[in-house]
Structure formats: C-alpha cells, structure tokens
C-alpha cells in the first residue's frame, strides 16, 4: 500500500480529485465507485471546479455509489442520492443513465442488493474506488465483522455509526440499516483510494495501517489489495507509529 500525508484536508481533496480526473481523462468510459460523507465533499468541489474550467467531462463515465440508507425517502435531505445530486451531479455533465445508487425505498432489499452487485459486475468492476473511513474502521457501510467475501448486502449499522451520522435525522440517530457494496466488491476495483482527515479518524487509520489485518477493522483488509493508496491529512495520520514525511 502507499501512504501519502498532506498538511491539510484541501491537499487530500485536490489529490483525490486529480486521481479521479486522470482516471477519466485516460478512459472517459471508466467505472467509478464513489463515497459520501463529509470527507469527500472537498474532492467533489474540486471535481466541479475542474469541470467548470473545461478540464473534465463525466458524460461517458459510469458512477456507482458505495452505499445508501434503507427505509428513508429517496430524496430525504440526508439520503446519499440527494448528497450526490447536491455535491456533484447537478453541477456537472454526468449522464443520469450511468449514475447508480441503491434504492433507499426498495420494498425488496435483498433483490435490490443482488441487482446492484450484478450491475457493478457487468461493467467489469470499478477502475477506481474512492473510500472514506468510519471511526470504527468501516468502509462503505461494511461495519466491523464484515468478511472479505461479502458482496452487496443489507447491513445493520453500529450504534456508534448511527450516532456519528445522526445530523439531519429527527430520531437523533441515522437509520438502523443501509445497503452497502461488500468487501469483495470493493476488492474487485483495480485501484483503491482511501481518504481520511481530522483527529477523530486517527485511531481508525492507525488500526487500518498498523494493526492486524482483520474483519474487525474492515479498512485494514485493504492492505491485501495490490493497488491501494491512503491519502491522509496530518491529523488523521497523528496516531501512526511510523514516521510520515
């Protein structure tokens, strides 16, 4: 794995956006697997800037999201569908027929998972997968205990995750369940980029980079991937034992 530490969140965002943009310039028909959360907002801002400056088009690119809450309206202000609209799609030329996200309102979640997984597989897997990381080491919504062999499925969310993501939900906590692509689906991506910033991610990053490779810290399993880069800011890197440049 590669580890890059930037002075600030902006550096992480810029480098992540450049990686996405380079992937799409080399192959306009690329398949991307993309995250939500506060960490990648800066990356999306940069992508919108690149698009406005004429340096990026997403019109031929296929984009899948990693996850979506289950049992909320599709257009709930905290739905990931809405997040992608607000942060990326309404500002760029992405083709709605090529953008995909699990259906939060599906009456048949298991079938929705199979359909979504098959759709990603049909494209040949992602050329680039960009991830954030949860405070307990989750990626997408693969919570601790997610096996390497997992594919897209319904996940019960950890209490700590529901509290961390509570903002915007009336109940004071995020929904109990979500649909997430699985660990194996992530592994089938040709290149993986994990973004982390802020002190609240330091422990999860240290466990992922220097702890045991184990389903208890899903992000640690990425160390087995042949092309993975962690892009961190100084605060997210602050609990690492190794020297970082």
Binding site for ligand GLP (CB under 6 A): 35-39, 66-67, 132-134, 140-141, 161, 165
Are 241 and 210 in contact, with CB atoms under 8 Å apart?
Answer: yes
CB-CB contact of 230 with 1 (8 Å): yes
Contact 204, 137 (CB under 8 A): yes
Q: Tell me whether residue 37 or residue 144 sits nearer to ligand GLP (CB atom).
A: 37
Instruction: Give whichever of 36 and 62 is closer to ligand GLP, judged by the CB atom.
Output: 36
Which among 100, 138, 142, 233 is annotated as catalytic?
A: 138
Residue closest to ligand GLP (Cβ)? 132
- To ligand GLP, the closest distance from the beta carbon of 38 in angstroms equals 4
Active site residue 27: no
* CA distances for 196 relative to 81, 98, 135, 224, angstroms: 22, 27, 10, 19
143 is catalytic: yes
Chain-centre distance of CA 196, in angstroms? 11
Picking from 94, 95, 113, 114, the residue whose alpha carbon sits closest to that of residue 104 is 113
Q: Is 138 among the residues known to form the active site? A: yes
| Contact between residue 35 and residue 130 where contact means Cβ atoms under 8 Å apart | yes
User: At its nearest, how many Å lie between ligand GLP and the CB of residue 16?
Assistant: 12
Q: Kindly tell me which of 39 and 185 has the beta carbon lying closer to ligand GLP.
A: 39
Instruction: Spot the catalytic one: 68, 112, 117, 143.
Output: 143
176's tokens: 């109990």
CB of 60 to ligand GLP, least distance (A): 25
Shortest Cβ 210–ligand GLP spacing (Å):
20
Which residue in 31, 136, 142, 165 is the catalytic one? 136
Helices and strands counted in the chain (H then E)? 7, 10
31, 46, 65, 67: which one is catalytic? 67
Measured distance CA(203)–CA(239) in Å, rounded:
6
Cβ closest to ligand GLP, residue 60 vs residue 203? 203
Q: Which residues are catalytic?
A: 67, 136, 138, 143
């Amino acid at each position: 794995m590669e580890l890059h530490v930037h002075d600030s969140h902006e550096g992480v965002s810029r480098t992540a956006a450049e990686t996405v943009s380079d992937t799409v310039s080399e192959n306009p028909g690329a398949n991307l697997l993309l995250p939500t959360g506060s960490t990648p907002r800066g990356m999306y801002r940069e992508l919108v800037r690149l698009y406005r400056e004429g340096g990026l088009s997403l019109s031929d690119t296929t984009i899948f999201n990693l996850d979506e809450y289950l049992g909320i309206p599709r257009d709930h202000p905290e739905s990931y569908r809405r997040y992608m609209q607000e942060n990326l799609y309404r500002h760029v030329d992405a083709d709605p027929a090529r953008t995909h996200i699990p259906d939060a309102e599906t009456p048949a979640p298991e079938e929705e998972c199979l359909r979504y997984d098959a759709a990603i597989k049909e494209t040949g897997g992602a050329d680039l997968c960009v991830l954030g990381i949860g405070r307990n080491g989750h990626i997408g919504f693969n919570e601790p205990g997610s096996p390497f062999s997992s594919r897209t499925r319904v996940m019960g969310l950890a209490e700590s995750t529901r509290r961390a993501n509570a903002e915007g939900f009336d109940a004071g906590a995020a929904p109990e369940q979500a649909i997430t692509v699985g660990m194996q689906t992530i592994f089938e991506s040709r290149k993986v980029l994990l973004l982390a910033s802020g002190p609240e991610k330091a422990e999860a990053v240290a466990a992922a980079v220097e702890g045991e490779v184990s389903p208890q810290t899903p992000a640690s399993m990425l160390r087995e991937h042949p092309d993975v880069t962690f892009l961190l800011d100084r605060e997210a890197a602050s609990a690492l034992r190794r020297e970082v440049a």
